[in-house]
Chains A and B, each alone.
Chain A
């Protein structure tokens, strides 16, 4: 594997972009269906849960000691059991990649270019992603640094241009239906994106400076979570919870409301750059992680020969993953959370425990050795 490395700052940007990407489109609607006007409370709860998860992931990363998740699992459980566990982990990442690809494809074909076949949107988008993964993590990190100001700029434009459309009454009554729907809605956001953050266990070993990288990860999740909360909050403040729930991509609908002094209108596609950029980075991170994961799984020296074959698989999977949008909506609100929980929490716990046991065994061995040497 090539010895690429990124700075903690670049890592933080990647975490932010990953957290925002695709969730920005798909999260507000299911939240508003369940939690109504309290959707922003649900998402705040999810951000807290995301921060706790990140603390845990940092512990796992510490135990992994400069190995990627794939290498560490093989190290902890041996060749066969380790690889058995990794089949689940890698398939999770691969399916996640296909779904994220489908998100952008569905969005484009619903709102912007309905006549264009889905496959071509996917192929064109994935080609750029493959190119990014081909160039490697360093290039992705540096381009994240370059594009971050644009994302921030458009977000600020989005927020300030919409301030005049805000209606505080849309948030009332607070907790009108009690806490139950608020909590049950928050699982949607915990599932996507926070449990997906498990993917960064493939990236952390390549981050320089072990001391600050933990903090970078946490700050990244926090900032990404705040952006998601703001977007959801604005959807409800501007559209009201009813229209937010009724709409397939409410954040885009909100952007249509932007009207600066009656002549700057129709900015939604410009605002759409936010999701193009964030989804690109999310997909690029997933794609890079999957390819180096598979390469390490197969003990290959280079991940690059895998890029095109994996891409073909991903495009096919993204088309057949679900037949229609209604299927997808049930999938996001019901199936994804338990699926992501299994692979984003239970699997890392198993590996974490395995790594600790392996660590103890190694230490005992070393102790015995040094004892026998000294005696």
Chain B
């Protein structure tokens, strides 16, 4: 992603594989220079695709594409708690497991850590959503598979899980929607892509502090005075009563910037909510059509059986059995 320096190894059959070298702080700098920076902030979601009920093996499943981020969520019906220690809490327990597909991430080293982090944040975000008092002493397992990572992972996972929960028939208080916004060197990015997130991560690890060295001295001094803010904000909200289910922030932000980012994310959440609502109503309609068709088939089957019984009653049993015995082609000879 950010690893710009690539050397190519030629394989025997002429194909090449790119081996990645370490990035240097300068690479990040160049990358940021080349990055197209939004001049005005448009608080709108990325092109989104949601499909509910993609799997037939589980009751609740959903697949979501948010730009290039692809996520699948699976919700199984609640099952009884095994661990007795959590039983004392008179609420159902939610367990979320986030897994990266083997091909989803380039950096395999940090995957277990990210999985752990995402799982715990997702659990926290979904806890206020589900009516946990309805399944006391039961646990709800939610699994998320990340197929492709292009930023906004947690918020996409939350959206996808919200839809999957509805599909599974778990009662929820509201529809949940989530989105991400970040600020980096005075540029606000809504729905940051993986590149921007990685840049931010690099920044958090320190590169951008060296950053402004190529700028003029005066500017540099100004930068020193005003602390350079950077940070990422993920907001999950439930609009009906304007509740926030989760707000996770990292980085270094002024309170005013925090509020500003919050407004952007809430705006996006609102439009996502419309989309999710539409998808869910479509799904209900689709399911209704299927149900009607199934009923029709059932009715036809009933009719057929009724006709047979009718015939049977008219013919008498013996005759019916005789008429149904097929001659064995071998014994007939």
Question: Do A and B come from the same complex?
Answer: no
A interface residues (Cβ-Cβ under 8 A, vs B)? none
B interface residues (Cβ-Cβ under 8 A, vs A)? none
